[in-house]
Structure 1
Amino acid sequence: MASVTLHIQSPPLNHDVVSLPRNHFPVVTFKTTFFGSSLTANGKPLSLRKTFRTQPVITSSSSSSSTHTFDVVIIGAGIIGLTIARQFLIGSDLSVAVVDKDVPCSGATGAGQGYLWMVHKEPESDTWDLTMRSYKLWQMFAENVRTQGLDPLQELGSLLVGRTAEEAATLKKKVKRLSEAGLRAEYLTSDALRLKEPELEVGKDGGAAFLPDDCQLDAQRAVAFIQKANRHFSTKGRYAEFFHDPVTSLLRSDSSSEVEGVRTSKNTLYSKKAVIVAAGCWSGSLAHDLFRESNILLNVPVKPRKGHLVVLENFSAFRLDHGLMEMGYVDHLHDSLDHKSSHSVKVEEGQALSVSMTATMDTMGNLVLGSSRQFTGYSTRVDESIINHIWKRAGEFFPKLKELPLGDFTLDRKVRIGLRPYMPDGKPVIGPVPGLMNVIIATGHEGGGLSMALGTAEMVADMVLGNPGTVDMAAFALQGRCC
């Protein structure tokens, strides 16, 4: 990984989780902002140290089955699951358990580039309001944690670049739409772009849309901070983590159709308010398995979409001052299972690979290049041919890279593999399961899980708590899309 991976170090606690009585919690009160107050522990601001360990604060290590009760049980400890937990913990009086078959942030976000960019978004799209809300919440998050010695956001600005007159015309229209939507946006001619990024070559007809306020997020550090803040609530009996503990079945009520909780490989977790499925690209197969023996037909067509990123550590051949992506990224972001983008290549029989140039320089001086999209099931195997395609595509925009053989970076090269949760219609599923209002699914964010996480968390909490909500929830409902 190019970014510094930090894991939380917490004092050892008793590994036996105390069951919470069903009448333990008072009437719910809710705050509308995600980070409405300082994150403190014992009156002192929470902070990150230089070295951490990965072991969860609270787990059940006993080989025999044990039973615990919480208000909310969240299946999935990715960026969506962890931020949903955080929203309930700081915005209500509810208790929360997070359960995962693996470890936190082991899916798409942990392998991503940390984009908090609006430059490739469309104001008319269904996801615009959700993304904008999340964008504002991330800014609030950054302001809060800066006072505590952590600055997760890198305000570098983003450039969406085109190399033809047709792409330049499209970019000018995009800048106009983004400006009308309230964002600072500017069109740069090829000459103006060269002043911003001297190593970038787009030709005389090319240009770029420039959003100076777009940010890069160190996802690993942000997740570490969120997880540590969540764990503070374990001392109050309101939070627990169950990792390396896959969910095996749902617990159904004998007297009603509601789900009472989940059974895992090691524990039984009762839920008084809601069970939330936020398992990324595994959500579809998990939901199918969990509801297989019920009378509910549930088909959530979320699929894993594999991506490669190439990280060149301590890269010094040149530097980038902004985050970049080519116009083709927008096209291949929305490619369907059968559609081939203008940068698709066939790598194996029956498999189409889509590669578009993205490039950023992180705060450690590492060059991060991408990106690929490919449907290969749940495989996370590194494919060297894809690495070569990414390098070749980047060289078409950065001529200096053509002079540098990729083999020269063998010792300083890292490869990130992530599985994005892809939905065919290009927008996430966030809403109750029809017929089971206390089971909510939040998945299908594809490559936008990080950028939409905080808005998604707020939306899920609003659903459970009966709040009117900040963003219209209708566009993300299951009905008419998945069932």
Structure 2
Amino acid sequence: MASISIYHSLNSTSFQKNYAFSPSTTQKACAFASNSSFSSKSLSFSTRATPLVPFSTLNPMNASTRSHTFDVVIIGAGIIGLTIARQFLIGSDLSVAVVDKAVPCSGATGAGQGYIWMVHKTPGSDTWDLTMRSHKLWEMLAESIDDQGLNPLEVLGWKKTGSLLIGRTPEEVVTLKERVKQLSKAGLRAEYLSSKDLHLKEPSLVVGEDSGAAFLPDDCQLDATCTVAYLEKVNRHFASKGRYAEFYHDPVTCLLRSRISGEVEAVQTSQNTLYSKKAIVVAAGPWSGSLVDDLFRETDIVLDLPVKPRKGHLLVLENFDSLKINHGLMEAGYVDHHDLTQHPGLVDQGQILSISMTATMDSMGNLVLGSSRQFAGFSTEVDESIVNRIWMRAADFFPSLKGVSLTDFTRSRKVRVGLRPYMPDGKPVIGPVPGLSNIFLATGHEGGGLSMALGTAELVADMVLQNTLKIDSAPFAVQGRCC
């Protein structure tokens, strides 16, 4: 029997550095999380003696690694990986392991704006049902937390702020009016606001008389750091039952297959061999493509997962009192900047950098401004020219910012930089790999990881458990898109 640590405690200093929060902000924003710590324990798992061979001879198995067995092994501890783990734990009796080269919230999840909005979604699109299902599941989760006598704002950073999609040209206004009709027909509360009505909603916002907005009063947002802390607490509850373990700071090196059956049976990491009896789920965000290439390099499996890292900047101004907003705001042009399926050639050449105005107040009352989108490989370096452009773009909508110098906020400003997992066709990849029925992919959500997370988790779990699917999985299939 092999003994392992259920999870690795996070060093508070590195935690604050990774998430760009000051100690006071972290403590305040995650008051609930501070009550969710567990004492370090040990848990025994049986080892397996089945003769295995690594898929890649470039990554031979390390004889000093330890072996553990689970029903499901999930590669990736972002919002997608953690929600998938939760779904298996609360919806079945399977055991689950989550493995990551870093820690939760250190990628796109922690660098996002936290909105779960439908205002910029298109009814009838391939991702509509998945996003709607996820939206419903997030609301159900917030309600269940409230039913337990807890405050969803403290637990998840959950706020029903409503969202505004703002148009400033005649063409954008026409599109917004049509969008409101579509959203209303799809069953959402939606209304079109004239420039006068828009000003009443957001007095600090200055737009022309011909401007307008689509308004969804039920749209919500959450704090990713608090939400991840909550998910980890839920998942770790099952560790004492022998059903959950985390392997952080432990990069995956290869998959192992049985010499007897040829089936994939384990995930090899730098420190452990994690056997899987039921499924292995690759949910490694923008790293999924290169990871899959490495994992299947020495096989006859033809799999080309074209997920790319799409870099984004967000500007966070702490305790900013020069501007207050009442809802989540987004300019109509964000929708076009989000969709690059019309010019994939430019994506391949790395020629697109877009800046769109988005503005939210987080659960701490900090102003969060965005956003940028660009293809810059896996670089997460802050580009000050992009930060300045985000500030200037926000000032186009909020003229009061023009009299304020960004340099005055050196100490109270933070910049979040994340890599969104972009798919050329604008849809995530969710489902089994053809020819490897126990290998599942769950990646490519781009900027919609939070908004589609719970629906994705439910979909993956239902596939593995062979339950009736709640939504059509065909748009997200691996077959025909990656092989």
- Structure 1-normalised TM-score? 0.87
Distance 1:189 1:100 in 2: 48
1:257 and 1:436 in contact (8 A); partners too: no
1:10 maps to a residue whose letter is S
Q: 1:258 maps to which residue?
A: 263
Q: 2:395 maps to which residue?
A: 395
Distance 1:381 1:409 in 2: 20
Q: 2:39 maps to which residue?
A: 12
Residue 234 in structure 1 maps to residue 239 in structure 2: yes
1:162 and 1:326 in contact (8 A); partners too: yes
Shift in Å, 1:246: 0.6
1:149 maps to a residue whose letter is L
Shift in Å, 1:335: 2.1
2:39 maps to a residue whose letter is P
Q: Which runs of 5+ in 1 are unaligned?
A: 23-61
Q: 1:206 maps to which residue?
A: 211
2:462 and 2:468 in contact (8 A); partners too: yes
Shift in Å, 1:124: 1.5
- Indicate how the Cα distance of structure 1 residues 454 and 408 shifts in structure 2: closer, same or farther if over 3 A, else same: same
In the TM superposition, 1:315-326 aligns within 5 A as 315-326=320-331
Residue 286 in structure 1 maps to residue 287 in structure 2: no
Q: 1:334 maps to which residue?
A: 339
Distance 2:372 2:149 in 1: 36
Residue 173 in structure 1 maps to residue 181 in structure 2: no
In the TM superposition, 1:378-393 aligns within 5 A as 378-393=378-393
Calculate percent identity across the aligned residue pairs.
Answer: 68
Distance 1:287 1:399 in 2: 47
In the TM superposition, 1:101-120 aligns within 5 A as 101-120=101-120
Q: 2:368 maps to which residue?
A: 368
Residue 186 in structure 1 maps to residue 191 in structure 2: yes
Q: 2:468 maps to which residue?
A: 468
* Aligned partner of residue 154 in structure 1, secondary structure: coil
Q: Which runs of 5+ in 2 are unaligned?
A: 1-19, 49-61
2:429 and 2:478 in contact (8 A); partners too: yes
The count of aligned residue pairs is 437
Greater per-residue helix proportion: 2
Shift in Å, 1:107: 1.1
Distance 1:238 1:138 in 2: 24
Shift in Å, 1:365: 1.9
Q: 1:150 maps to which residue?
A: 151
Distance 2:143 2:459 in 1: 22
Distance 2:283 2:342 in 1: 23
Distance 1:14 1:387 in 2: 44
- Structure 2-normalised TM-score? 0.87
- Of 349-358 and 177-186, more deviation after overlay is shown by 349-358
1:20 and 1:70 in contact (8 A); partners too: no
2:202 and 2:325 in contact (8 A); partners too: yes
Which of residues 309, 313, 321 is equivalent to 2:318? 313
* Aligned partner of residue 352 in structure 2, secondary structure: strand
Q: How far does the alpha carbon of each residue in 1:280-335 deviate from its partner, in whole angstroms, 9 at most, with x for none? A: 00000000000001111111000000000001110111210000000110001112
Q: 2:11 maps to which residue?
A: none
Distance 1:213 1:379 in 2: 36
Shift in Å, 1:66: 0.7
Distance 2:273 2:144 in 1: 36
Q: How far does the alpha carbon of each residue in 1:14-51 deviate from its partner, in whole angstroms, 9 at most, with x for none? A: 45x411478xxxxxxxxxxxxxxxxxxxxxxxxxxxxx
1:292 maps to a residue whose letter is R
Distance 1:369 1:382 in 2: 15
2:116 maps to a residue whose letter is L
Residue 161 in structure 1 maps to residue 187 in structure 2: no
Shift in Å, 1:258: 2.2
